[in-house]
């Protein structure tokens, strides 16, 4: 029987605005449009000529990297510690027979369902101990990021159980090779819930979202998952949670305004929707043809530069800090003095909690803003600062997204 799955708070998560921003740079290949120490550039790698160990001559290959340029230093390639390599929450998942419990990052902007192989380390999933695991022959996958980090391996199928819902013959990617950036993560892998067009599997097989869509044994109304990241609501409702296969009606009732739905464009694999306006207090900012992606793994919300400037112009004492590559807000500001920011999802506006505009400590006396520049991206990224204030329904069967928000 399906049940609510309380998300597990990561005790090792260390909040950092700049590191969260560089993480989104590498995830989306985001080129910053504001000044700061981090940028994406090109570097050359030469294989060298035959019969020599020197990396000169021979074939040359260009590839993108993330650079940092700190005062008094030369331009250098970013290292593992320059990025946020951990997540705020994990979702518990059982894999195999008998079940092995793992803790995965819930990522609505990834299609990969991968887990550390115990052959790689001392935690994760041991496929050899599962009687229901069936490997694919000559099957590989690899997630590569612009900073050079990667995770890769083989894959097969097995039973998985999430919140009392069991899916048989679900594709499970085994992480046999893990680079240091991925190894730093406290979780055991990623539960990707976007659509299959951004999957890294070879050969292509159905992702979890695709399987929900194609499964004729599941009622169309049950082909969904829901997420509540914010700590709001009374008693048990205050706990962040997710569900698979049903909508938590108690949470919807507590919001009092029902669920507002909008269609989703999944052509690029994302949960992408129209977001053509926002309001800052009484000010309306029109954003014709603007799109947004909902990302449960993004610690920040990213908007275009014009929108960011308008938001922080309305915050007393806020300014753009080049060293932090982001907007900062005075640490002692009264939360009530912050503007009420609302973002459009389809034809409705939803409030961003004021407290979520204050992400984490930056320079002395200032905090990093929860909303930052999307740089070169053609769409917004609605991450945790936005998701903190809403209950989201990812309706796979109807290719739509629903939102309920509690009244003030």
- Please give the average per-residue pLDDT across 60-64, as a whole number: 69
The per-residue pLDDT for 248 is 95
What is the spatial distance between Cα 248 and Cα 401, in angstroms, rounded to a whole number? 15
Domain span holding position 285: 254-404
Residues 264-280 have a mean pLDDT of 96
Residue 197 pLDDT more than 90? no
Q: For position 290, what pLDDT does the model report?
A: 98
Tell me if 160 is assigned to some domain: no
User: What pLDDT is stored for residue 23 in this prediction?
Assistant: 96
Any idea which of 36-45, 54-63, 147-156, 298-307 has the lowest mean pLDDT? 54-63
- CATH code for the domain of 385: 2.40.70.10
The whole-number average pLDDT for the span 156-165 is 92
Residue 379 lies in a domain: yes
Q: Give the pLDDT score at 49.
A: 56
Least confidently predicted of 29-38, 206-215, 309-318: 206-215
* C-alpha neighbours within 13 Å on the C-beta side of residue 325: 24
DSSP calls for 71-83: TTS--EE--GGGS
pLDDT in tens, 102-115: 999 999 999 999 99
**CA nearest to 198, candidates 115, 295, 275:** 295
pLDDT band at 63 (very low <50, low <70, confident <90, very high): confident
Task: Find tokens 């229901």 and name the residue.
Answer: 132
> pLDDT tier at 55 (50, 70, 90 boundaries)?
low
| Range 76-101 average pLDDT | 95
Helices within 178-304 (DSSP H only): 180-183, 208-214, 249-255
Does residue 92 have a pLDDT over 60? yes
pLDDT digits (tens, 9 = 90+) for 310-333: 999 999 999 999 999 999 999 999
**Number of domains present in the structure of the chain:** 1
Residue 120: pLDDT over 60: no
- Average pLDDT across the chain, whole number: 90
* Sign of the four-CA dihedral 33, 35, 38, 39: positive
The enclosing H or E element of 306 equals: helix 305-313
The one-character DSSP state at 374 is -
Predicted confidence at residue 205, as pLDDT, reads 75
What is the model's pLDDT at position 52? 57
Q: What is the mean pLDDT of residues 278-286?
A: 97
Separation CA 112–CA 171 (nearest Å): 9
Which pLDDT belongs to residue 70? 76
**Residue 1 pLDDT more than 60?**
no
SS (H, E, C) the chain: CCCCEECEECCCCCCCHHHHHHHHHHHHCCCCCCCCCEEEEEEEEECCCCCCCCCCCCCEEEEEEEEECCCCCCCEECCHHHCCCCCCEEEEEEECCCCEEEEEEEECCCCCEEEEECCCCCCCECHHHCCCCEECCCCEEEEECCCCCEEEEEEEEEEEEECCEEEEEEEEEEEEEECHHHHCCCCCEEEECCCHHHCCEECCCCCHHHHHHHCCCCCHHHCEEEEECCCCCCHHHHCCEEEECCCCHHHHHHHCCCCEEEECECCCCCCEEECCEEEECCEEEECCCCEEEECCCCCCEEECHHHHHHHHHCCCCCEEECCCCEEEEECCCCHHHCCCEEEEECCEEEEECHHHHEEEECCCCEEEECEEECCCCCCEEECHHHHCCCEEEEECCCCEEEEECCCC
Predicted confidence (pLDDT) at residue 387 exceeds the cutoff of 80: yes
- SS3 category, 311: helix
Q: What is the pLDDT of residue 207?
A: 79
User: Is residue 152 a part of any domain in this protein?
Assistant: no
Look at residue 338 and tell me if it is in a domain.
yes
Per mean pLDDT, which range of 67-81, 245-259, 356-370 is the poorest?
A: 67-81
Q: Per-residue confidence at 202, pLDDT binned at 50, 70, 90?
A: confident
Percent of the chain beyond pLDDT 70?
A: 93
Does residue 239 sit within a domain?
no
CB of 350 closer than 8 Å to CB of 255? no
DSSP alpha helices (H): ranges in 123-186? 180-183
Other CB atoms within a 10 A radius of the CB of residue 167 amount to 19
**pLDDT at 211 (0 to 100):** 76
In 10 A of CB 118, how many CB atoms? 16
With respect to residue 44, please indicate whether it lies within any of the assigned structural domains.
Answer: no
Q: Is the pLDDT higher at 203 or at 313?
A: 313
Which candidate, 129, 76, 75, 64, places its Cα nearest to that of 102?
129
311 located within any domain: yes
As given in the structure block, the two tokens for residue 227 are 């997420």
What pLDDT score was predicted for residue 209?
82
Confidence of residue 236 (pLDDT cuts 50, 70, 90): low
Residue 307's pLDDT is what? 98
Residue 107's pLDDT is what? 97
pLDDT attached to residue 44: 62
Q: Is residue 120 included in any domain, yes or no?
A: no
């Amino acid at each position: 029987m399906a049940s609510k799955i309380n998300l597990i708070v990561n005790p090792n998560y260390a909040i950092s605005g700049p590191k969260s921003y560089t993480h989104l740079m590498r995830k989306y290949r985001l080129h910053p449009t504001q000044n700061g120490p981090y940028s994406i550039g090109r570097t050359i790698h030469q294989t060298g000529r035959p019969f020599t160990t020197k990396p000169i001559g021979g074939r040359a290959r260009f590839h993108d990297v993330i650079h940092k340029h700190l005062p008094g230093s030369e331009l250098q390639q970013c290292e593992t510690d320059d990025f946020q390599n951990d997540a705020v929450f994990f979702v518990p998942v059982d894999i195999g027979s008998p079940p092995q419990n793992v803790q995965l990052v819930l990522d609505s902007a990834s299609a990969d369902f991968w887990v550390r192989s115990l052959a790689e380390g001392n935690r994760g999933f041991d496929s050899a101990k599962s009687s229901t695991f069936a490997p694919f022959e000559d099957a590989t996958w690899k997630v590569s990021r612009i900073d050079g980090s990667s995770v890769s391996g083989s894959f097969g199928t097995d039973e998985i159980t999430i919140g009392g819902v069991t899916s048989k013959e679900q594709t499970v990617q085994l992480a046999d090779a893990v680079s240091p950036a991925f190894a730093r993560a406290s979780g055991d892998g990623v539960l990707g819930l976007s659509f299959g067009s951004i999957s890294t599997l070879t050969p292509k097989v159905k992702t979890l979202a695709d399987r929900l869509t194609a499964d004729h044994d599941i009622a169309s109304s049950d082909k969904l998952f829901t997420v509540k990241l914010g700590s709001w609501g009374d008693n048990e409702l205050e706990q962040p949670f997710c569900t698979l296969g049903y909508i938590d009606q108690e949470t919807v009732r507590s919001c009092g305004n029902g669920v507002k739905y909008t269609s989703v464009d999944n052509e690029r694999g994302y949960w992408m929707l129209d977001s053509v306006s926002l309001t800052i207090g009484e000010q309306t900012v029109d954003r014709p043809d603007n799109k947004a992606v909902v990302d449960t793994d993004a610690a920040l919300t990213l908007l275009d530069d014009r929108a960011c400037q308008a938001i922080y112009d309305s915050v007393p004492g806020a300014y753009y800090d080049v060293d932090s590559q982001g907007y900062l807000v005075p640490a002692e500001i009264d939360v009530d003095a912050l503007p009420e920011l609302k973002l459009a999802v389809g034809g409705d506006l939803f409030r961003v909690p004021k407290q979520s505009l204050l992400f984490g400590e930056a320079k002395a006396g200032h905090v990093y803003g929860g909303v930052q520049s999307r740089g070169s991206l053609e769409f917004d990224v609605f991450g945790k600062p936005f998701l903190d204030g809403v209950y989201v329904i990812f309706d796979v069967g109807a290719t739509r997204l629903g939102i309920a928000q509690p009244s003030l």
